[in-house]
Chain A
C-alpha cells in the first residue's frame, strides 16, 4: 500500500469538566490511504465523533480539551500546526459533514452563498466564479433546479436536501479527505440510501478518501472498505469490512453484529443482547473496557488493557483471547 495519506498515532483526547476528567479517546492509531473508505462504528460514548473532531481540532473555546498524539496528514502533524495553517487544512484538504444539517447550516444565509463562501475562503476567485461553481456543485449533489434555489434559505429544503447542501460545502474545494459524522442518522431511511450512494459516487469521482462514522453497521457495510470498531474510547477491532462481517473476533463486535435484527431474520428469533451498560466515562474500568460486559471474560481482562493481536493482513483485535477465538469453532 502506498504511503498513508492520513496516519494517526496514539491519539488521546481528554476533557476537563467540573465533574472530573473524561478520556473520550484513549490511544487510537490508524491509517488511511488515498481514495480509501474507512469506517468507525460504535455506540454513543465510544469516542468515534470525538476522534474526528480531535483530528481537525474542532473543539470550541469553552471546551477544555487536551489532544495528544500525532495526526499526520501528508506527513505533517496537524496537532502541531498554528491557527492559520490549520484553517488551510479545514475545508480545503479535509472536509467534514455533520449529523444534523439543520443546525450546521446558517439559517439566515442563502445556501448558494454558504457554498460560495467556502470556495472563496480557500481560493482567490471572484464572486461570480465562486457562485457559478456553487451552482455546479448543487447539480453534482443532486439538488433540483440549482440556479433558482441558489438564494433560498436552508429551512425551505427538506432534511435530505440540506444534507446534500452540506456535502456540497464539504467537497467544494475538492478535499482529499472527507469525514462524515453520522451523516444520515437524522434522515429518513429512503433518503439515507440516496445520500450514501451520493457519497460513494463523489468519492469515486474525486478520488477522495472517506472516513465514515456511524453506529449503524449497515451504513458502514454500504460505504466502507475497512472498519474500526470503537468501544470506550479505544479501537477494539479493525478489519476489512467483508472480513469483519464474516469472522468478527472481538466479543463486542460479535455481540453488536448479533443483536442488530437483520431483515432476513424471521420473527420470533430472540435477539441476543449485550448485558450491562456502556461504560461510565468518568470511571473507566482498569483493564479491558469491555470486561464488565464480556461473556468470555477471563482474569487478565480485568487487570490489563489488551493490546491489538494481529489476526491477518489488516485484521486486528484488542482482546486477550483473540487467538483462541480465532480457532474454528
Chain B
C-alpha cells in the first residue's frame, strides 16, 4: 500500500528563446508510509524539481502524482491547500525559508492557524511542545530568524514542517548549507522525529554518505531520469549502473585508498555533465560512460527490475558490463 506514487512525471521549462528544458523526464517513484526514500544526483539531475512537482509547487507538464489514492495534479485552490497539511517540505536554505519578520512562535503556529487546527490556546501549546522536540530552549519562542544560527533555523523549519503531523515530508538538501558539525545534529533530529511521528521522508541530497545513513531506499537521478533505484545497502554494496558506481567512487573518503578511488571515479564518470539544453540522445549518460557503445545512443533505457533483488536499473547492458568487469578482475 503506497502512500505516494508518481507515474511518468515530466516537467518541462520553457527557455527564453522558445526551446524548452526537460528537467524531469518520466520519473516514477513510490513511497510506503513511514519509509525514507533518498534521492541523489548532481546538478541538473532534476531532484529539486521533482520535489516541487510532487508537492505541486511546480505543476508537472504531464504524469500523475497520487497521494493516498488522491490525484494531486487534478487538485487546485482550496482542495490543494487543504491537502498540504499532509505533505510538507523542508528547504535547503534555512535562513531564506523563514519569514524574517516572524518570531519562532508565530512561525510554528502558522501552519496550525492556516489549516484551522486546534483552538487558539492549544496552538501555542503545540508550538511549545514542538520547540522542545526540535531541541530548542523555550526562550527561542520570541526570537527571530536573524538572531539564530543556521542549524537552529533549520530546526525551526523542520518543526514547522512537522507540526501538522503530515504523512509526507520532502527534504530538499536540508543540511547542505550547514557546517559539518551541525549537520550531524540535524540529521539525527530528522531521524528521531521520523521514528516518533512515523512520517515518510523523501530525502534529497548530493551527499551520498548522508543519504546512505538515513534512507531505506535510494534513487539515483541523472539529467532528469532515474538511472538506478533500490534498497540502500544493496545499492551501495552492489551498484549496477555505471553512473552510480562512478558517483560512489567519487566521494572522497577519509581513508588511505582515497587517491585510488578517485582514479576509478574518473574512469567511470569521465568528462562533464551535459547541458540540459542539448541532452544526449538515447542514454543520457553515454557521453561519460566508460562502457558506452553505439547502441546506447539509439534508445532511452527503461528502468528494469534486477532479478532476485528489489533493485531497478536503467541500463540495457548492465549485466554485460558486470560480467565483463568480473572477467577483468579475475585476470
Contacts and interface: CB of A to CB of B under 8 A. Distances in A.
A and B touch in the complex (CB under 8 A): yes
B178 to A, nearest CB: 10
Interface string A253-267: 001110111111111
Interface residues of A, number: 47
Contacts of B251: 189, 218, 263
Nearest to A200: B259
A255 B254 contact: no
Contacts of B249: 193
A188 B215 contact: no
Given A190-B247, A190-B250, A196-B252, A267 B214 contact: yes
A269 B180 contact: no
Interface in B271-290: 272-273, 288
B248 A263 contact: yes
Contacts of A269: 213
Contact of A272 (B184, B256, B269): B184
Interface string B156-191: 000000000000000000000001111111011001
A216 B272 CA distance: 22
Contact of A259 (B180, B216, B256): B180
A256 B183 CA distance: 11
Interface in A163-201: 188-194, 196-197, 200
Contacts of B253: 218, 221, 262-264
Given A191-B272, A266-B233, A270-B188, A222 B214 contact: no
A218 B250 CA distance: 10
B248 A218 contact: no
Nearest to B269: A190
Most buried by B among A193, A274, A277: A193
A43 to B, nearest CB: 5
Interface string B181-222: 111110110010000000000000010111011111000000
Given A265-B212, A267-B213, A273-B184, A260 B233 contact: no
A188 B43 contact: yes
B82 interface: no
B252 A221 contact: yes
Contacts of B232: 267
B184 A271 contact: yes
A277 to B, nearest CB: 6
Interface residues of B, number: 49
Contacts of A106: none
A277 B213 CA distance: 23
A220 to B, nearest CB: 8
A278 interface: yes
A87 to B, nearest CB: 34
Given A190-B42, A262-B209, A221 B273 contact: no
Given A193-B249, A267-B212, A277-B151, A44 B179 contact: yes
A242 interface: yes
Determine chain B's interface SS by DSSP, over half rule: helix
A161 B272 contact: yes
B73 interface: no
Given A261-B212, A265-B212, A222 B179 contact: no
B255 interface: yes
Contact of A218 (B246, B258, B266, B273): B258
A215 interface: yes
Contacts of A193: 249-250, 252, 262, 265-266, 269
B182 to A, nearest CB: 8
B62 interface: no
B269 A273 contact: no
Contacts of B187: 261, 271
Nearest to B264: A193
Nearest to A231: B181
Contact of A190 (B188, B191, B265): B265
A273 to B, nearest CB: 4
A39 to B, nearest CB: 11
A257 B206 CA distance: 20
A197 B261 CA distance: 10
A219 interface: yes
Contact of A217 (B214, B254, B265): B254
Most buried by A among B43, B182, B183, B272: B272
A158 interface: yes
B236 interface: yes
B2 interface: no
B188 A271 contact: yes
Nearest to B36: A267
Contacts of A273: 181-182, 184-185, 188
Contacts of B214: 267
Which 3 A-B pairs rank lowest in CB-CB distance, beginning with the nearest?
A218-B252, A188-B42, A273-B184
10 contacts: A43-B180, A188-B273, A193-B269, A194-B270, A218-B258, A220-B254, A261-B187, A261-B213, A263-B212, A263-B236
Given A190-B42, A221-B258, A270-B188, 15 more contacts: A43-B180, A160-B272, A189-B206, A190-B246, A192-B250, A194-B270, A197-B263, A218-B258, A222-B262, A265-B209, A270-B191, A271-B188, A273-B185, A277-B151, A278-B179
